[in-house]
Amino acid sequence: MATPDRGKVLLIVGYGSIAKEVAKRAKAFDMRVWGVTRSGKGEPAHAEKIFAASQLAEALPGADYVLICAPETPETKHLIGAAEIAKMKRGARLINVGRGSLLDEAALVQALESGGLGGAALDVTETEPLPAESLLWKAPNLLITPHTSGVSDRLWDRQAAILIDLLERWFDGRELFNQVDFARGY
């Protein structure tokens, strides 16, 4: 049985560890996955193409879905704004699970109201909790969740396993993972 999104392109902006897990699942639905990284390099196992951040404008027109997973840095503030949304296919969908500052919310509202975007989902917003007077609450075709996209019945087990692994590595003097790179800001 074919899925409705078979062959559709999912562009993941910020192709890190979370994005790779999403890519695996999208591939299971026969979606085509493209990634965007700062350098244009990354694990190609689940991505058909990987673009450099400087090529984002080239990648956007080919995407049916755009998933924002990038970290918050000075370079990523309003990474997706009116100009980027205008490059997307009419009717495309935009999802932000990264940081609220990555998306220009006024541009998103305008694109949803005009029908330029087919829909959007936000798990993060610039101001959290989202104020009652925010225009996002009235935007059409917008799903808002309260910064809970990572929550599942396995969340605490996964986090505990990572913590235990890191503690064991620390005490054994082995290399750690999930370290913050202060030069990059994440």
Annotated catalytic residue, options 58, 128, 158, 184: 128
- Tell me if residue 88 falls in helix, strand or coil: coil
Look up 128 and say whether it is catalytic: yes
Q: How far apart are CA 132 and CA 134, in angstroms?
A: 6
Look up 168 and say whether it is catalytic: no
Kindly state the helix (H) or strand (E) to which residue 117 belongs, with its residue range: strand 117-122
- Tell me if residue 30 falls in helix, strand or coil: coil
Evaluated on CA atoms 84, 57, 145, 186, the torsion sign reads negative
Look up 75 and say whether it is catalytic: no
Contact (CB, 8 A) for 1 and 25 = no
Annotated catalytic residue, options 46, 93, 99, 105: 99
Q: How far apart are CA 95 and CA 119, in angstroms?
A: 9
**Residues tagged active-site:** 99, 128, 147
